[in-house]
Homo-oligomer: A and B are copies of this chain.
Amino acid sequence: MARVGIREVATLAEVSMGTVSHYINHPARVSPEKRERIQRAIEQLGFVRNNAAYQLRLGRSAAIAYIAPDVSNPFFATIAEGVEQQAAAAGLSVFIANSNRSRQREDAYLEMFEAHRVQGMLVASHDPIEERLESIRQRGTPIVLVGQRGASPDQPSVSIDDVRGGYLAAKHLIEHGRKRIAFVGGPLGIRQVADRLEGASNAIREADDVTLEVLNVPDRTIVDGRDIARVIARRSPETRPDAIFAVNDLLALGILQTLVNEQSIEVPREIALVGYDDIEFGEASIIPLTSVRAPHEEFGIAAVELLINELAETPAAGSKQVVFEPILVVRESSGGTIGAPRA
């Protein structure tokens, strides 16, 4: 398969390479007659512009990257959708990469996208990542942090107030008379996890008589939820928690499923359950799931807007950090009122 470039097209159409290039990028500058000849040559040869050369010449690409820790978590998938949509409107393409919760793969993608000279990146990560991003930013690739607030005010970010979210969840459980609350979450090294726990602790501290226990899970997936639920079920009813606050909905759903279907523990009577993120599937789960909600769709949109602003010659002033207020969506799993309408 002979490589076909602009040169071959030019030869076949009997014009110069420059004219072909003009035809591709500024068709108006080329006479109708040659336009026709060039178009025919392109089709005949099956010419496709070589992006590498294009980018090399231009020095930039028309794409942005979105690095997610776990695409199969609908929370990140929904964000991806907002990103995609908003970026398309701005004429940008989006490369999505899945780091699979692996720091190593995350680094690899960061490096790769920087080498690709993407216009900018949106990074959702569990790790404290800001330091690593700093050097990339300094070299000229703007980055918006997604899901965790930038520590430095210069670091743009889109996040939710997780301390507040954790507070709302625990407060709600306490108000319904729960006394032994378990916080099921991942490594406390993860900022989001630590913040949600902090919020929950604050709520506990305001109450009398309520204890908070922390149960660790490694990956915060459905499978992790199932596993920890079995551990909990093994304990005697008196020592078991009477409420669980799971650090995300995946965990909560895994817990719910195992508790109800496998362990025959009643939710919310025996154990009340609150999740986090309010993914779409929570509403349709065995027992509709109470959850802390942030506006996912807007998450992606806001992130892209922040990035585009950063890309502008003269970034608009104002805070670069968007923080959404979490809302508690009460459903059956926590023993609250049933069927609260969805936004």
**Bound Cα distance from A48 to B74, whole angstroms:** 33
Please classify how large the interface on chain A is, using the bins under 10, 10 to 19, 20 to 34, 35 or more: 35 or more
A337 at interface by CB-CB < 8 Å: no
A51 at interface by CB-CB < 8 Å: yes
Contact present for B115 and A50 (CB under 8 Å) = yes
Q: In the complex, what residues of B have CB within 8 A of residue A140's CB?
A: 1
Q: In the complex, what residues of B have CB within 8 A of residue A54's CB?
A: 52, 115
Min CB distance A65 to B, Å, is 9
**Bound Cα distance from A109 to B95, whole angstroms:** 10
Contact present for B93 and A96 (CB under 8 Å) = no
Surface stretch bound by B, among A161-169, A191-199, A252-260, A307-315: A252-260
A139 at interface by CB-CB < 8 Å: yes
Q: What string of 1s and 0s marks CB contacts (under 8 Å) between A288-320 and chain B?
A: 100000000000000000000000000000000
**Bound Cα distance from A158 to B278, whole angstroms:** 33
Contact present for B96 and A1 (CB under 8 Å) = no
**Bound Cα distance from A142 to B97, whole angstroms:** 21
**Bound Cα distance from A109 to B284, whole angstroms:** 33
Surface stretch bound by B, among A15-23, A79-87, A204-212, A235-243: A79-87
Q: Which of B52, B284, B288 contacts A52 (CB 8 A)?
A: B52
Q: What string of 1s and 0s marks CB contacts (under 8 Å) between A27-62 and chain B?
A: 000000000000000000010111111111001010
Contact present for B88 and A94 (CB under 8 Å) = no
- Smallest CB-CB separation from A141: which chain B residue? B48
**Bound Cα distance from A257 to B282, whole angstroms:** 10
Q: In the complex, what residues of B have CB within 8 A of residue A78's CB?
A: 72
Q: In the complex, what residues of B have CB within 8 A of residue A105's CB?
A: 88
Q: In the complex, what residues of B have CB within 8 A of residue A253's CB?
A: 281, 284
**Bound Cα distance from A80 to B97, whole angstroms:** 10
**Bound Cα distance from A283 to B81, whole angstroms:** 25
Interface residues of A in 245-285 (CB under 8 A from B): 253-254, 256-257, 261-262, 280-281, 283-285
A215 at interface by CB-CB < 8 Å: no
**Bound Cα distance from A140 to B143, whole angstroms:** 35
Q: In the complex, what residues of B have CB within 8 A of residue A135's CB?
A: 46
A111 at interface by CB-CB < 8 Å: yes
Contact present for A288 and B286 (CB under 8 Å) = yes
**Bound Cα distance from A252 to B248, whole angstroms:** 24
A202 at interface by CB-CB < 8 Å: no
A155 at interface by CB-CB < 8 Å: no
A179 at interface by CB-CB < 8 Å: no
**Bound Cα distance from A300 to B309, whole angstroms:** 37
A-B contacts besides A84-B100, A88-B105, A94-B98, 19 pairs, CB < 8 Å: A46-B135, A48-B111, A50-B117, A51-B52, A54-B115, A56-B56, A72-B77, A77-B77, A80-B98, A93-B97, A222-B280, A222-B284, A253-B281, A261-B288, A281-B281, A284-B285, A285-B286, A286-B287, A286-B288
Can you list 10 A-B contacts with CB-CB less than 8 angstroms, sorted by A residue number? A46-B138, A48-B139, A51-B52, A51-B115, A72-B81, A81-B100, A88-B105, A95-B97, A257-B283, A285-B285
